[in-house]
Structure 1
């Protein structure tokens, strides 16, 4: 009877293995929660493209060269593609803030003893590389060149010299264009020479030209400032201050830590700085940044989207010309710009609009918000607007794609919109008196 009261040797091994498995699983869960693996869309505009797209989703590329409308097959005849530049290194401003923060923390021997990586950590971002394309960015451009080449192959085949490429004056957009074109060229197997892109800040950096916008922008941080100094952010800062072991740690310094975590994790797939954050912390910071974008580039003020008309009017005119002159010499406009370009354009078309405004006091109510920059405007984010010609009817229809996926067009309530309805709904986006809108005179 005695043996029944004790586990056998084999049972003991099984039980030990089971316990070790539970311990290991718990360790992994804690490790994921404490920040060694945050490859998720929680880093706002610093989010790599394929974290926002679900990096575990390996779906094949869908052919979007045709669309169905009223039972007819419609063939793509023109594409407008607006892309944010690819993943880059931090700006010089942030590199210097990162260095200063590290130097300040290292002065405290107790903190370094507690967090040993701080002793040997050296900032991996050289000042000479500030704001330039990273290796991750090159991967994004290569993948997207291939993706769009496959998605709209019939449009590009034989027409690689009929694509207009436009960048801003910033070097990272030129780097994005070159890497994208190389990949698209290889996908189409066109062997086309590298084209000379147009530099057009009037169309793609309209926010730098709009005097009225700059006035509103200066006044639009009320909600951001309120959340910045509010209870939720104080809770995040107090927790990190205690975990780090530095007295009088400030919100600005937590944001700098967040920048280090975001860029290191994105570029190198690992960052010890992320260990100070939880997903709840990152969600709070994401909302803080979304407040700024909502009021400065989103639905907060009409000027935010009105000023995008140099871009929207160019696109709508191109579609009109394609319809009017059936042998239009350009099959696509592919443009490389910035988050400050893309977000106002999204807003102009009514994309990602919530029923509630984003305010400092409704963080919990907005956790399922549509206006979530981490998902809609990561590095390499893109808005594709495609014009199709239908069979016997001769109708023209429009589809829109955000980050390669078709979306409902707000003005039409569906994914395929008759061009004349699309044009009528967005008439104000085609009539562009930029000087009047922005009061530049």
Structure 2
């Protein structure tokens, strides 16, 4: 933290919107929407069933490589920078707290995000998380990564602190299962066809590529060049250099709260750069291709079966943005009216990764047992669910009752019956025919963009 404190003494606050796509820190809502008793109907919460992304983490090895490359480039640019930026960049180096031995490990901010999320859930639903909890009533599942396992631990500490029997703070230790979970939590690594046709296929991200090479990004490179050189050089930076500066802005701000790299960008510049990240997430992890979200069906089946069995009070699964984005797309949430493309940057869009899948993002199903009363205007009876995304209530498309906000478990099963019977192995089997089909889909999806660019 000393390195960060030194930096902040010399930095002017930046007005950039904190919109760092999936690397955005978690911002809890001002009002928690969870309710043990439904405010309209005679319903009582009996289960919380959730998928949670790990908390804020340290950068990847690739990120650190980018920061070192930027440091070398800054040294070579010093003679042509104006006096203001030359003085600032001459001593710039990435924070000493960022190092490869912590690669992708959970950050202490991430621990706090998860701990506080657990506390808010327990406080809002006190009857579900009572004194002296019985371990068999709760299940914690995680991918086998340091950042997800520790997220689960920090979350469990917040969930049960003061309710257990251990130590002066009466904590309750939790057991976290990480074996045999890839099919439900890392399905993106378990589907050969998805890996072959989308994840490891650069042509699947042609929209992002066109956008980085387009006129908007070149204008940003020109504006940053003019700013750094005092107008003497309009072509100092390439588009790849803009990418390096934006990455440094995100990583250093997440570590220290601010960064001189962010001060290079105007709000308009940042919106242009950020849209490239949106394109990547849309086409690689969301609605871009059907296979992206269809392969999250095993996770939906697991959620549904644990709701139907009702054997647990709380089920919490800790995973990744690559887990949550496809899953929410499978549910039909945050779906734009038309695909995100390199050519429609200026259009309003509901798909925003920073709001959907920031660090510590969460999707929580609250299962209610409802009893119809003659004196009530609500006629709901049986088991119903509400969905909360990042602690805000979201209506499940084609399922949620517009008046009550509830979706019956029976209707839920009917709407998603095809997904609940999805044949993962068959759909993910690589073959010449399926590969050609995906290739044709990619080419046809982007034909309009190819025409426009030409």
**TM-score class normalised by the smaller sequence:** 0.7 to 0.9
Aligned equivalent of 2:146: 171
CA shift, 1:65, in A, is 1.7
Contact 1:159/1:331 (8 A) holds in 2: no
Distance 1:109 1:120 in 2: 11
> Is this contact kept in 1: 2:362–2:389, CA < 8 A?
yes
- CA distance in 1 between partners of 2:52 and 2:15 (Å): 25
1:351-378 Cα deviation digits (max 9, x unpaired) = 001112111111112xx31110011111
1:122 equivalent in structure 2? 93
Which segment is superposed worse, 132-141 or 93-102? 132-141
Asked if 1:223 is matched to 2:211, the reply is no
Counterpart of 1:373?
Answer: 353
In structure 2, the CA distance between the partners of 1:362 and 1:108, relative to structure 1 (3 Å rule), is closer
Question: 1:102: which partner in 2?
Answer: 71
Q: Aligned ranges for residues 251-290 of structure 1 at < 5 Å?
A: 251-290=239-278
CA RMSD of aligned residues (A): 2.1
Residues 89 and 290 of structure 1: CA distance in aligned 2, closer, same or farther (over 3 Å): same
Q: Give the SS at the match of 2:386.
A: strand
What do the CA deviations read for 1:124-183 (whole angstroms, capped 9, x no partner)?
111212211122212211221111112222212154512111111111111111111111
Structure with the higher fraction of residues in helix conformation: 1
Give the gaps of 5 or more residues in structure 1: 1-33, 323-327
Q: Is 2:129 the counterpart of 1:156?
A: yes
- CA deviation vs aligned residue, 1:38-91 (integer Å, no higher than 9, x gap): 4634211111111xx5xxx6x3434422225xx532111222111111011110
Structural mapping, 1:22-421, within 5 Å: 36-38=13-15, 40-50=17-27, 53=28, 59-68=30-39, 72-110=41-79, 111=81, 113-115=83-85, 116-124=87-95, 125-157=98-130, 158-159=132-133, 161=135, 162-186=137-161, 188=163, 191-199=170-178, 200-217=181-198, 218=201, 219-245=203-229, 247-322=235-310, 328=311, 330-365=312-347, 368-392=348-372, 394-413=381-400, 414=402, 415-421=405-411
CA spacing shift, 1:35–1:341, aligned 2, 3 Å: farther
Structure 1 position 429 matched with structure 2 position 419 = yes
Task: Quote the offset at 1:390 in angstroms.
Answer: 0.7
Measured against aligned partners, the alpha-carbon deviations of 1:207-264 in whole angstroms (never above 9, x if no partner) come to 0111111233113211111111111111112111222237542222212211221122
Paired residues in the alignment total: 392
Alpha-carbon distance between aligned partners in 2 of 1:149 and 1:349, rounded to the nearest angstrom: 26
* Further displaced range: 346-355 or 181-190: 181-190
Q: Which moved more, 1:369-378 or 1:263-272?
A: 263-272
Query: Contact 2:49–2:364 at 8 Å: present in 1 too?
Result: yes
SS in 2 for 1:49: coil
Say if 1:220 and 1:169 are closer, same or farther in 2 by CA, change over 3 A. Answer: same
Could you tell me how far 1:311 is from its partner in structure 2?
0.8
Does the aligned pair in 2 maintain the 1:106–1:112 contact within 8 Å?
no
- Pick which of 102-111 and 280-289 moved more: 102-111
**Residue pair 1:297, 1:344 contacting (<8 A) in 2 also:** yes
Secondary structure of the residue aligned to 1:202 is helix
Residues 35, 276 of structure 1: 8 Å contact kept = no
Cα deviations across residues 2-48 of structure 1 (Å, max 9, x unaligned)?
Answer: xxxxxxxxxxxxxxxxxxxxxxxxxxxxxxxx983346342111111
SS in 2 for 1:386: strand
